[in-house]
Amino acid sequence: MIHFEWPWLLAALPLPLLIRWLVPVNAPVEQAALKVPFLDDFSDAETRAVSQGQRWPLLLAAIAWFLLVIACTRPQWLGEPIEQAVSGRDLMLAVDLSGSMEEQDFIINKQPVDRLTAAKMVASDFIKRRVGDRVGLILFGTQAYLQTPLTFDRKTVMTLLNESAIGLAGENTAIGDAIGLAVKRLKDQQANSRVLVLMTDGANTAGEVSPLKAAELAAANHLKIYTIGVGADEMIVHSLFGNRKINPSVDLDEKTLRKIAESTGGDYYRARNTDELNNIYMRLDELEPVEKDKQYFRPRSELYYWPLSLALALAAFIALSKIKLS
């Protein structure tokens, strides 16, 4: 169907008539060198000829003005309504960029990689599957930053996640500030659709808010938090004195992460390798979506250039005819 974006501009149609009525027309001065009794007959004949010759330019000008006004109303062609896939979840992903994330205790394609590289790979696949969800990204270290606000543009979220680097937000870990920032960004959304997935490999060592206080604030704002502790429990280190086993996740505060999840109605997961991390995100995929009203999108095609082109063509034709007649 045809839709006019600015239909109120149709009120400009009688503008030329209004100007003609308000602005007085100077009558042409007729002077005759010779006075004859039947001069009025010649005058009437000349007036009829002029009026007949000027009638068609006036008609074309009226059509051109009509087309110009129609173009100004921005006519558009509306296509058939297309339903958008909207599940109703507003999901924020918080990723730790502290210095400890450079520990290479994950394996991808039989090659050791740091924790952030593994997190990027698995989280990118997770974001790609979130069709219908609005996804946001928080990066935190010593400070917490909103890298991407809630958006349906999952491709941009994945790109910005993959461009993140260890130490970009500082070397320490501000878990409480990351939760507080998520609460701030999600508090105006639907109460039973707010979800935060927080991934870290350490304990809270920076920030203005403690993690448990931030979790209380999240629970009060109906924000469900799923926490993921990453890092291997055991790692073989080669040295000049032989091989020895170490625990690279000794600084991981699992107790606090578990309390954060439990106090907000979420769950705590432990990811010791890439497979476990991927399985965690697969489990998160099973979250029940919150039903919302269906949203529809109607594609629009602009049509204003058609009446505008015709109006300009008629105006050019009238101008050329006046030049020829003169």
**Domain identity same for 261 and 312:** no
**Domain identity same for 173 and 271:** yes
Q: Which residues contact 109 (CB under 8 A, 6 or more apart)?
A: none
**Domain identity same for 89 and 70:** no
CA angle 135, 255, 91 (to 5 degrees): 10
Range from 4-13, 229-238, 278-287 carrying the lowest mean pLDDT: 229-238
Q: Is residue 293 part of a domain?
A: no
Percent of the chain past pLDDT 90, that is, above it, reads 36
167 backbone φψ class: left, alpha, beta (φ>0; ψ -120 to 50): left
So what's the pLDDT on residue 320? 85
Range from 24-33, 162-171, 248-257, 314-323 carrying the lowest mean pLDDT: 24-33
Answer yes or no: are the C-beta atoms of 309 and 68 closer than 8 Å: no
So what's the pLDDT on residue 326? 61
Among 80-94, 129-143, 275-289, the range with the most confident prediction by mean pLDDT is: 129-143
Q: Which residues contact 298 (CB under 8 A, 6 or more apart)?
A: 78, 79, 80, 81, 82
Q: Where are the alpha helices (DSSP H) in 91-174?
A: 115-128, 154-162
Which domain range does residue 62 map to?
2-21+34-80+298-325
**Domain identity same for 70 and 105:** no
DSSP 36-86: -TTHHHHHHHHHHHHHHHHHHHHHHHHHHHHHHHHHHT-EEEE---EEE--
Q: Is residue 28 part of a domain?
A: no
Q: Which residue has the tokens 């958006």?
A: 151
Confidence of residue 44 (pLDDT cuts 50, 70, 90): low
So what's the pLDDT on residue 88? 62
96, burial (CB in 10 Å: exposed 0-12, middle 13-18, buried 19+):
buried
Answer yes or no: are the C-beta atoms of 20 and 97 closer than 8 Å: no
Q: Is the predicted pLDDT of residue 198 greater than 80, yes or no? A: yes
Give the integer Cα–Cα distance in Å for 151 and 144. Answer: 19
Read off the amino acid at residue 189. Q
Q: Is residue 26 part of a domain?
A: no
Q: Is residue 151 part of a domain?
A: yes
- pLDDT tens digits along 260-273: 999 999 999 998 88
Q: What single-letter DSSP state applies at residue 108?
A: E
112-116-122-125 Cα dihedral, nearest 10 degrees? -130
How many domains does one find in the chain?
Answer: 2
Question: pLDDT: is 55 or 241 the higher one?
Answer: 55
Residues 201-206, mean pLDDT to the nearest whole number: 88
Q: What single-letter DSSP state applies at residue 310?
A: H
Confidence of residue 26 (pLDDT cuts 50, 70, 90): low
